[in-house]
């Protein structure tokens, strides 16, 4: 067995233990859910037993994760297949959906409540509200956007957007560094 495969297999046990503990499950509770004995689960987590598909599939189902998350499958070239959320210190989460520097970039964002702080920078932005109520401040003006509503603006205008209340909001956010404007067709 090559060293890379050995490394992947060795990482499965600790990953399984972390998933179980993060979900607050005991070995007994996981055994009941999966039909895998407590001793087998313990040996898997400690690395004393090699994982097989017959064991990993029920574990993936019980943890509600894709099988490749258990085995740390290598990422493909398409960022939409293996999204890497970025957790910010303010409680917000940004998921880059494209990775094309110099072109329009797309993000899905979950924005936590926070104080407005106006910023300016070069480019053009579009927001599409997926969930929650968004407060958008543009210069001296202010808008409230609800799910299904859209805003676009030049980012050289002082701006800020985030939750309009104490609940997080979810937005699809497009940013064009060259100031490209959207072209709408009906």
pTM for this predicted structure: 0.54
Q: Which two tokens stand for residue 121?
A: 């920078």
CATH no., domain 3-71: 1.10.260.40
The pLDDT tens digits for 106-165 are: 889 999 999 999 999 888 899 999 999 999 999 999 999 999 999 999 999 999 999 999
- List Cα–Cα distances, 22 to 30, 38, 45, in angstroms: 13, 18, 14
The pLDDT tens digits for 62-112 are: 888 878 778 876 555 555 555 677 888 888 888 888 766 667 788 899 999
Report the pLDDT value the prediction gives residue 158, as an integer from 0 to 100.
95
> Helix and strand tally (H, E) in the chain?
5, 9
Q: Which two tokens stand for residue 173?
A: 């956010």
- List Cα–Cα distances, 100 to 31, 82, 88, 97, 168, in angstroms: 44, 16, 21, 10, 27
Given pLDDT bands bounded at 50, 70 and 90, which one contains residue 24? confident
Given pLDDT bands bounded at 50, 70 and 90, which one contains residue 169? very high
Mean pLDDT of 41-46: 94
| CATH superfamily for domain 86-176 | Jelly Rolls (2.60.120.10)
| Coil, helix or strand at residue 38 | helix
Q: Are 168 and 111 in contact (CB under 8 A)?
A: yes
Report the pLDDT value the prediction gives residue 78, as an integer from 0 to 100.
54
| Domain residue extents for the chain | 3-71, 86-176
């Amino acid at each position: 067995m090559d060293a890379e495969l050995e490394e992947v297999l060795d990482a499965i046990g600790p990953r399984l233990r972390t998933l179980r503990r993060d979900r607050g499950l005991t070995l007994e509770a996981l055994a009941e859910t999966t039909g895998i004995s407590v001793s087998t689960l313990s040996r898997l987590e400690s690395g004393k037993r090699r994982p097989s598909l017959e064991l990993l599939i029920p574990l993936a189902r019980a943890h509600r994760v894709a099988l490749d998350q258990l085995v740390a499958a290598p990422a493909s070239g398409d960022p939409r297949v293996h999204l890497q959320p970025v957790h910010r210190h303010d409680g917000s989460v940004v998921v880059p959906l494209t990775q094309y520097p110099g072109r329009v970039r797309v993000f899905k964002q979950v924005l936590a409540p926070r104080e407005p702080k106006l910023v300016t920078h070069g480019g053009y932005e579009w927001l599409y509200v997926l969930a929650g109520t968004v407060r958008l401040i543009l210069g001296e003006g202010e808008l409230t956007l609800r799910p299904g509503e859209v805003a676009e603006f030049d980012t050289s205008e002082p701006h800020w957007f985030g939750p309009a209340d104490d609940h997080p909001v979810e937005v699809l956010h497009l940013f064009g560094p060259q100031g490209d404007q959207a072209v709408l067709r009906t």
